[in-house]
Amino acid sequence: MLQALVNFSLRHRGVVIVLAVVLLGYGVHVLMSAKMDVFPNFVQPQVTIQTECPGLAPEQVELLVTQPIETTVNGLGDMESLRSESAQGLSVITAVFKEGSDIFRARQTLAEKLAETAGRLPTSVKTPQMSPLTSSTMDLLKVGLVSDKRTPMELRTFADWTLKPRLLSVPGVARCIVFGGEVRQLQIQVQPERLVAYDLALSDEMARLRRKTAATEIAEAVRQAALSRLEAARRWARARFPTSS
């Protein structure tokens, strides 16, 4: 059989060469038109909704945040399943769509539904955010910060203002989510009798506090940015002008 195939190829060299060229051309065409990805999507299209709920226990997060969002987004077109997880101060909802669904259209319809939850959530809860459009491999690296000398509040401040911006500046990093620790807060207790004495309403005091809080956050952001630039300048100076021991 093999000898007959070799003899046929030698007798009809032209036919064999033409078939080889056609097969090579078809292979090049398939290679150029193939959808290649370093991390191919081997799961169904899905969107993750994360909502930060400062100061709420897992039971409160489930009752006041997770369930209202699930009720709102449930029943979307092409949605196959909906699963959720409620932790302390964080609600995570994953919407899984049918195979072959347009992920961009699904995200658009989901964003329209999330806009309807604005008046149904507690005032202290932040706006629900959809995760960026990334690969189905999801989280590639999880980092935990522990220290014997720093408080949980200091670790959270470092993660929010120093570590997170540097990680997002790395090429290829699509998102960086920080949770846990103690978020720096300013708690103000109002004395009703003093408000009456100065003829002020609670809404007046809240408006003043919002203006001052916004100014404080801006000042803190500027200070942290200046410290980061100063540290970068120090590292550059040490690398550019090393000191001899």
Give, rounded to a whole angstrom, the gap between the first and last alpha carbons of the chain: 80
Phi and psi torsions of 90, nearest 5°:
-150, 135
Residue 145 domain flag: no
Q: Name, in order, each residue with C-beta under 8 angstroms of 143's C-beta and a sequence gap of 6 or more.
A: 163
Rounded to two decimals, what is the model's pTM? 0.53
Residue 200 domain flag: yes
Q: Name, in order, each residue with C-beta under 8 angstroms of 9's C-beta and a sequence gap of 6 or more.
A: 16
Whole-number pLDDT of residue 245: 47
Of the candidates 139, 112, 141, the one whose C-alpha atom is nearest the C-alpha of residue 128 is 112
Residue 16 domain flag: no
Residue 86 domain flag: yes
Whole-number pLDDT of residue 119: 78
Q: Which of 130, 146, 164 is the last residue of a domain?
A: 130
Whole-number pLDDT of residue 103: 85
Residue 174 domain flag: no
Is the pLDDT at 228 greater than 80? The verdict is no
Domain coverage including residue 78: 46-130
Higher pLDDT, 140 or 94: 94
Burial of 82 (0-12, 13-18, 19+ CB in 10 A): middle
Q: Which of 130, 148, 176 is the last residue of a domain?
A: 130
Mean pLDDT, to the nearest integer, of 49-58?
86
- pLDDT tens profile 183-220: 777 677 778 888 888 888 878 877 777 776 666 666 66
Mean pLDDT, to the nearest integer, of 119-134?
82
Instruction: Please report the DSSP string for 63-83 in residue order.
Output: IIIIHHHHHHHTT-TTEEEEE
Whole-number pLDDT of residue 31: 81
The structural domain count of the chain equals 2
Residue 213 domain flag: yes
Residue 8 domain flag: no
Higher pLDDT, 210 or 90: 90
Distance CA 143, CA 152 (A): 15
Q: What angle do CA 46, 82, 102 make, to 5 degrees?
A: 30
Q: Which of 110, 130, 150 is the last residue of a domain?
A: 130
* Mean residue pLDDT across the chain: 81
- CATH code at 82? 3.30.70.1430
The reply to whether 124 and 198 lie within a common domain is no
Residue 67 domain flag: yes
